Structure 1
Amino acid sequence: MDDLLGSVLDLQGAWTASNTDEMRRRGVHIRQDLPVFLKGHSAALAAALGVGVEGLGVEGRDGTGLKTEIPWVRVCAREQSPSATTGWYVVYLFSAAGDRVYLSLNQGTTVWTGGDFKARKVQDLRARVGWALPQIAEQMAKRGDLHQAISLGARTPLGRGYEPGNVVAIEYSREALPSQQALIMDLLYMLSLLRTVYAAELLAPHIPGDPTPEVREAEQNAAVVAGRRSSRRATRSTRSGQGFRLTAAERRAIERRSVHVATVCFEAQGWSVKDVGDRESFDLLLSRGEERLRAEIKGTTSAGHDVILTRAEVEKQRRYYPDNALVVVHSIVLDRTAEEPVASGGVLHCTSPWGIADEDLTVISYAYRTAVGNHVPGAQSAIAVLASGSRRVEQDLIANQGDVSE
């Protein structure tokens, strides 16, 4: 294995986006030789990761068409990281100059929004790194050769993009590559770190840098209602930590906790508090002398940067202004170890009066009024949109029997 790593590093100096002889040789090492070698140790790698051999993922990429500046070979659990753009994994990253290779605990650089994948911001990647590091701090203490920053010397944005995703890495110099046995032992160690991250991810209500669970769920639900077809890869990612969804019981626990925290806070300020959430478009009616406030309460396990509002909530709160308030109880701790989830903690942030500006609202989905007219009772119908020059013609097609055909 040390010979294969060294050969790839030696070819890095000849990098070009074109498929030259050197790049073809590099591609064989990355896409075939190294993965085949690693798969020869599948049983040990899977055991270190805590998955069955069938759940182990090993792959290498050096670019499809144009050759990438920084090739890689990664090892992961297929369910938690169905592609290199999502989830956490351990990956060999080869420097642009060919002077070193990193064995990095890294992450995908995109997130599923319910309709497509979008690139993560650098600050979000770093926030996720900040979450992962404490999870593996005890295991990291056993080693003194770990790097929390890597430098690939890449000239391309894609190559530089791997650096902020690094959680921790082992650096190997081209001039002092370890033996094959030492390399395998290092890989097993890094996979044990990845196993810890996977376990923590499954229990985490929210990981900093990710969209809030409420926003992600709203986006995913909107995509389902709109009839968006999801790829198998996207569907799998929504079942892993990348696509975590709160259960109904967890949502209720968070809601009860946020209302309780808000009630205690307002009562301490001399307000009389009435919970009206089951019959009004807001949650708490606050009275203090002649003062009245209608407060919308939002609870979340995230940092509270985004909350979901219904159209009714927006319209009503705009009418209530300035006698209104938005209360966000964020950073709620959700314990799933008991039979029923238990929510505790939380940090309260209150905005009052609460003026809702259009630029602070993001549309997740639309309700579109179509041009469907009155149809013959019992008839099957469909809408055909026809293009005729610059005109757009809408026509109802009626079929009394069978399907509508072309």
Structure 2
Amino acid sequence: MDDLLGKVLDLQGAWTASNTDEMRRRGIYIRQDLPALLRERSSELADALGVTLDELGVEGRDGTGLKTEIPWVRVFGREQSPSATTGWYVVYLFSAAGDRVYLSLNQGTTVWNGGEFKARKVEDLRARVGWARPFLARQVAGRTDLHEDIRLDARTPLGRGYGPGNVVAIEYSREALPSQHILITDLLYMLGLLQTVYEAERLAPHIPGDPAPEVLEAEQSAALVAGRRHCRAARPARSGQGFRLTPQERRAIERHSVAMATAYFEAQGWSVKDVGDREAFDLLLKRGEERLHVEVKGTTSAGRDVILTRAEVEKQRRYYPANALVVVHSIALDRTGTEPVASGGVLHCTSPWEIRDEDLTVISYAYRTAVGGEGHGVQNALDVLASGSRQEEQNPITAM
């Protein structure tokens, strides 16, 4: 294995996007030889990762068509990371100069939004890294060879993108590549770290840096209803990045956020009535001659983005300024019992709540066709969502 890593590193200095003889040789090492060598130890790798043999993935890539500056070979769980653009995995990353190779616990640098892959922002990648590292504290204690920063010296944007996604890595110098025994031992250790991240991800209601689960679900559902052939089915509720909430989890979050909002307004002397079952808003407040129509949104995310239906927007615009938006964000969701339990959270109230067009983003349309002789045209937006960054108390809270 050390011989194959060395051969790839020796060819890095000859990198070009064209498929030269050197790049063809590099491709054979990356796509065929190294993965084949690792698959010979599939049982060990699967045990270290805590998955079955058929759930273990091993693959290498050096570019389709144009050759990439930084080739890689990764080991992963197929459910948790169905592609290199999503989820967490352990990956060999070869520096541009060929002087070092990293064994990195890394992540996909794009996210699926229901219609296409979008590049993750660097700050979102770092937020995810910051979430993952504390779970590994006990396992990494005492290891002095782990790096939080990696230096690939890449010239291309794609190559530079791997750095912010790194959680921890082991660096191997070309001049001092260890024996195969040490390399495999290190790989098994890193897969143990990856297993810890997978388990933490399974239980996490939301990971900082990820889009809000409600937003992902709305976008994916809209794409499915629209019959998008390339719309990928949402992953199971506990499978990690991009996961959807179950109906029971949504109800737990909703009940908890409405209870928090009710207590908040009662403390201010309002009489509070829950009307969510029959109105396009959640709470009707009375205090003397005053009336307030309140929309309540609960989320396990940071609350920058919430989903609004067309009816909710129309109603709140009609009620303004006798209206309010309450967002209870950062709710903790305990999934360990038979029923999910929501707790905690931070309440943010916007009143009066003015919904401005620039804070709304349409995610789906109903289109009137010429079928039936009624003409055609855009009928209306099925769902809308507010987008931006959080405003002051008198302005609409941001949502996506």
Match for 2:350: what amino acid? T
Contact 2:220 2:234 in 1 (8 A): no
Percent sequence identity over aligned pairs: 80
Shift of residue 242, structure 1, vs aligned partner: 2.4
Instruction: Flag the 1:215–1:171 CA change in 2: closer, same or farther, 3 A.
Output: same
Residue in 2 that maps onto 1:392:
none
Cα offsets for 1:45-72 (capped at 9, x unmatched): 0110111112111111111121110010
Q: How far is 1:135 from its partner?
A: 1.9
Q: Is the 8 A contact 2:220 2:233 kept in 1?
A: no
Correspondence 1:56 to 2:61: no
How many angstroms does 1:235 deviate by?
Answer: 3.2
Matches of residues 265-276 of structure 1 in structure 2 within 5 Å? Answer: 265-276=264-275
The answer as to 2:327 corresponding to 1:328 is yes
Residues in 1 aligned to 2:113 and 2:20: alpha-carbon distance in whole angstroms? 38
Alignment CA distance shift 1:83-1:359 (3 Å): same
Residues 279-313 of structure 1 deviation map (CA, whole Å, 9 limit, x = unaligned):
22111112223332111000011111110101011
The reply on whether 1:257 has 2:239 as its aligned counterpart is no
Structure 1 position 336, deviation (Å): 1.3
Residue in structure 2 matched with residue 397 of structure 1 by the alignment: none
Deviations 1:214-259 (Å, cap 9, x if unpaired)? 111111111111111236xx33756731231111111111000001
Q: Work out the CA distance in 2 between the residues paired with 1:166 and 1:359.
A: 35
Shift of 1:81: 1.1
The 8 Å contact of residues 80 and 237 in structure 1, kept in 2 or not, is answered as no
TM-score for both structures, normalised by structure 2: 0.90
Secondary structure of the structure 2 residue equivalent to 1:363: strand
Matches within 5 A, 1:199-238: 199-230=199-230, 234-235=232-233, 237=235
Question: Which residue pairs with 1:396 in the alignment?
Answer: none
1:124 and 1:212 map into 2 onto residues whose CA distance is 12
Residue matched to 2:370 = 371
Q: Counterpart of 1:301 in 2: which secondary structure?
A: coil
2:371 counterpart SS class: coil
Contact conserved, 2:69 with 2:159, CA < 8 A, in 1?
Answer: yes
Structure 2 unaligned regions, length at least 5:
377-400
CA contact (8 A) 1:323 1:353 kept: yes
Secondary structure, aligned partner of 1:85: coil
Pairing 1:112–2:119 present:
no
What residue number does 1:164 align with? 164
Change (3 A) 1:210 1:322: same
The residue that corresponds to 2:102 in the other structure is: 102
The DSSP-based 3-state class of the residue aligned with 2:195 is helix
Report if aligned partners of 1:81, 1:237 keep a CA contact under 8 Å in 2: no
**Distance between the aligned counterparts of 2:234 and 2:278, measured in 1?**
38
Q: Tell whether the 8 Å contact from 1:146 to 1:169 is kept in structure 2 after alignment.
A: yes
Find the counterpart in structure 2 of residue 388 from structure 1: none
Secondary structure in 1 matching 2:86 = coil
Shift of 1:74: 0.4
Look at both structures and tell me which one has the larger radius of gyration over its CA atoms. 1
Q: Kindly state the Cα deviation for residue 271 of structure 1 after the two structures are TM-superposed.
A: 1.9
Which residue is equivalent to 1:181?
Answer: 181
Partner of 2:393: none
Q: Which amino acid aligns with 1:263?
A: T
Cα distance in 2 for partners of 1:308, 1:236 equals 18
Amino acid at match of 2:233: T
Q: Tell which deviates more after alignment, 244-253 or 271-280.
A: 271-280
SS at match of 1:362: strand
Asked if 1:308 corresponds to 2:288, the answer is: no
Which residue is 1:378 aligned to?
none
For residues 204 and 332 of structure 1, the distance between their equivalents in structure 2, rounded to whole angstroms, comes to 11
Q: Report the Cα distance in structure 2 between the residues aligned to 1:101 and 1:286, rounded to whole angstroms.
A: 62
Output one character per residue of 1:99-155: Cα deviation in whole Å (capped at 9) or x when no partner.
111100111112121222222111111111111112222212142221111111000
Q: Does 1:46 find its partner at 2:46?
A: yes
2:234–2:244 Cα contact (<8 Å) kept: no
Tell me whether 147-156 or 274-283 shows the greater mean CA deviation. 274-283
Structure 2 partner of 1:295: 294
Does the 8 Å CA contact 1:86/1:237 hold for their aligned counterparts?
A: no
Q: Tell me the distance in 2 between the aligned counterparts of 1:371 and 1:359.
A: 31
1:387 aligns with: none
Partner of 1:136, secondary structure, is helix
- TM-score normalized by the length of structure 1: 0.89
State how many pairs are aligned. 374
Change (3 A) 1:238 1:252: closer
Deviation at 1:76, TM superposition (A): 0.5
Alpha carbons 1:215, 1:308 under 8 Å: kept: yes
Residues 126/273 of structure 1: CA separation in 2 closer, same or farther (3 Å cut): same
| Unmatched runs of 5 consecutive residues or more in structure 1 | 376-382, 384-406
Deviation of residue 374 (structure 1)? 5.8
| Offset at residue 179 of structure 1 (A) | 1.3
Partner residue in 1 for 2:133: 133
Aligned residue type for 1:74: R
1:13-52 correspondence runs (5 A): 13-52=13-52
Query: In 2, distance between residues paired with 1:302 and 1:185?
Result: 37
